[in-house]
Amino acid sequence: MGKYVLALDQGTTSSRAILFDRESNIVQIAQQEFSQIFPQDGWVEHNPNEIFDTQSSVVRECVKNAGISSKDIAAVGVTNQRETTVVWNKKTGAPIYNAIVWQDRRTSAYCDKLKAEGKTDLIREKTGLILDSYFSGTKIKWILDNVKGARELAEKGDLLFGNIDTWLIWNFTKGSVHATDPSNASRTLLFNINTGMWDKDLLELFDIPESLLPKVMPSSGVMGEMHPEFLGAPIPIAGDAGDQQAATYGNACTKEGMAKNTYGTGCFLLMNTGKMHKLSANNLLTTVAWDSGKGLHYAFEGSVYIGGAVVQWLRDGLQIIKNTSDTEALGKSVPDNGGVYIVPAFTGLGAPYWDPYARGTIVGITRGTTKAHIARAGLESIAYQSLDIVRCMEKDAGMKMSTLRVDGGASRNNMLMQCQADMLNVVVERPVITETTALGAAYLAGLAVNFWSSEEEVRSMWKLDRCFEPQMSQERREKQLYEWHKAVKRAQSWLED
């Protein structure tokens, strides 16, 4: 048995490798950013080969810098940006098109067509998802319909599809394993969450041959082995989960009713609903949380498309800060937002609005507005968007949320976390280890090879870093929320004409 578990955390803007010890401490971390491709308005792509190259590079860097060898690694866990879609030639291993990223909106019109044909309820009942271009299914269809020769190759069985987890596993096993887990499969519009299988009716609807699809295996269980080419000896790949489900597991929200919010490029709030699932009545998603080898667990989920990415925009687009960490000091330099609200609908609005035609807006600007007000409004927009989801989640679950666990890069921003506690009027708990996405993948992999003994042991390792108590008056909270929702209305349906 090795001393460590290696987590591959392939995100929207960077690839990372993180090494955890038996006490779930981070031993070593390596990270590389990769290119973001924007061919036209609303389109977002990645180079699949660059994704794998950066991921394999940080794997080697992480292990080398830790001064260990492959024999010290008990297992590898994979977690990934979900819905991002890769189609490749199984004979050559070459992608036939760039990866179409989860943020991409090119199939919005096709989704509208399906809605007009009355397909919304069918898809929702089978998948738990909203009919939206966010998910993989319409992206696969777009590639097959728009890349020359793609459909012919697909019909011959020469093409493979995968979300990023599948693409990584296929490459790290040198093409011997074409697999995914239920958490990723449930983000495709093609997986029936009631039966736990690919759905033939949905495959027919989207005109996608089943031969493209990976085998669905448990989130915790040995899928295959990392080829010796990478680290010198084979290592079991024993964990796989989409990033938000992995973060839920890593934040020890393994009991029904527990909830977390991950503040990354987007924000993703999940509430564990256990082995029973029901459809949301408030425009949230019902998704598979994981299969730890004992059957499917489910969750309610709400997604904010632009979370931490609004801070990157303040840095790279408006250029009012030099580093993302500057927003906290700048935002604190003014007592409030000065009446300024940013709705960062750069690629539309996610839950609960599901408006692909919304676009970003800043309202409330006066002659007295400064870059500090704008920075503060940017941070607050993350908290407001998350609040909209929490309120829907509380209605669906029939209970008031008392505590929210948080993770992800932006959760280190104390001002944002205090704002979140104030707006929600709930306690916000930040753990010592905020890299819970990678940690969740590590836990799933480690449990599969008995590196850790049980979920109880995993839960016992969760440690609190800081607790944020609500401090805002109800009157002020209601005023700000009223103005926020007024701003959202200004941003909605901007492109509909």
Question: CA 256 to CA 276: how far, in whole Å?
Answer: 10
Question: CA 15 to CA 404: how far, in whole Å?
Answer: 27
Is 412 known as a binding-site position? no
Is 85 known as a binding-site position? no
Is 127 known as a binding-site position? no
Name 491's Cβ contacts closer than 8 Å, sequence gap at least 6.
343, 345, 349, 358, 359, 360, 361
Is 243 known as a binding-site position? yes
Q: Which of 120, 211, 223 is nearest to 160 (CA)?
A: 211
Question: CA 305 to CA 217: how far, in whole Å?
Answer: 28
CA dihedral (249, 250, 252, 258) positive or negative: negative
Give yes or no for a contact between 8 and 56, defined as CB atoms under 8 angstroms apart: no
CA torsion, ordered 440, 413, 135, 359, to nearest 10 deg: 180
Question: CA 154 to CA 208: how far, in whole Å?
Answer: 8
Question: CA 87 to CA 99: how far, in whole Å?
Answer: 8
Is 134 known as a binding-site position? yes
Q: Which of 243, 249, 329 is nearest to 12 (CA)?
A: 243
Q: At what angle do helices 474-491 and 371-397 cross, to 10 degrees?
A: 100
Is 414 known as a binding-site position? no
Is 23 known as a binding-site position? no
What does the block give as tokens for 397? 């679950």
Is 265 known as a binding-site position? yes
Q: Which of 267, 216, 255, 220 is nearest to 240 (CA)?
A: 220
Is 409 known as a binding-site position? yes
What does the block give as tokens for 146? 């728009």
Binding residue ranges for glycerol? 82-83, 134, 243-244
Binding residue ranges for ADP? 12, 16, 265, 308, 409, 413
Binding residue ranges for ATP? 12-14, 265, 308, 312, 409
Binding residue ranges? 12-14, 16, 82-83, 134, 243-244, 265, 308, 312, 409, 413
Binding residue ranges for sn-glycerol 3-phosphate? 12, 82-83, 134, 243
